[in-house]
Amino acid sequence: MTHQDQARVSVRIMEKEYVVGCPYEERSALLDAAEFLNARMREIRDSGKVVGLDRIAVMTALNLAHEFLRVKDHESRIDSGVGGRVRALRELGGADESAAVVGPGAGPCCYSVGSEVHTALTGAPREGPIDLRAIVRGRLLAAGVGEVRDVEACTICDERFFSHRREGEHAGRQAGVAWLS
């Protein structure tokens, strides 16, 4: 990497300015991360329970570390879920030509998540809509599935489906059936 690829970015956290070096293409991700950190530190300061910049920083870091580990655990379960199921199918035979269908689920049109979930699933620290179908498609292809189709149905805005987001705790559950023929 040449020197020109490095950017020096000035970020403000808790009314203090810090100049941070980072690869040029990661500037906006760094600014997002700083804004997120600043918001979380202000939240802790405004709660009035923690006093002093260093204690606020440590409490914020502890909270973020806790969330990060929880999300990482969640992600590894998702990964082992997709990969494990593809492996199980292979063991049943038909290893050469496998195909998968991404069924109805929460679509990017309706489903927004926080930065910690985005970071874990997509690597991008942002908040907002997330495309779970695209993520599952990528993981299926990475697991060696030859063809992935998507029914492109969103359970939240398509009322043919149950949705916990739309209907709350009284929502029913979706089920799928597959068989060997």
- Shortest Å distance, C-beta 144 to Zn ion: 30
Nearer to Zn ion, 84 or 128 (CB): 128
Contact range with Zn ion by CB under 5 A, out of 13-21, 77-85, 102-110, 145-153? 102-110
Cβ of residue 108: shortest distance to Zn ion, in angstroms?
A: 8
Task: Name which of 11 and 153 has its Cβ closer to Zn ion.
Answer: 153
Structure tokens belonging to residue 82: 């997709």
Helix (H) or strand (E) holding 42: helix 27-47
In contact, 160 and 143? CB cutoff 8 Å: no
Helix (H, G, I), strand (E, B) or coil at 128: strand
Bridge-based pairing of strands 128-129 and 112-113 is antiparallel
Q: Is 132 in the site for Zn ion (CB under 5 A)?
A: no
Question: For residues 23 and 7, is the Cβ–Cβ distance under 8 A?
Answer: yes
User: Which is closer to Zn ion, CB of 37 or CB of 104?
Assistant: 104
Binding of Zn ion at residue 44 (CB under 5 A)?
Answer: no
Interface with Zn ion, residue 153, by CB under 5 A: no
Query: Among candidates 8, 170, 179, which has minimal Cα distance to 94?
Result: 179
**What residues contact residue 33 under an 8 Å CB cut-off, 6+ apart?**
125
What type of residue is 77?
R
Among 44, 110, 132, 135, binds Zn ion (CB under 5 A): 110
Window 67 to 96, contacts with Zn ion (CB under 5 A)? none
Site membership for Zn ion, residue 130 (CB under 5 A): no
The footprint of Zn ion (CB under 5 A) covers: 107, 109-110, 154, 156-157
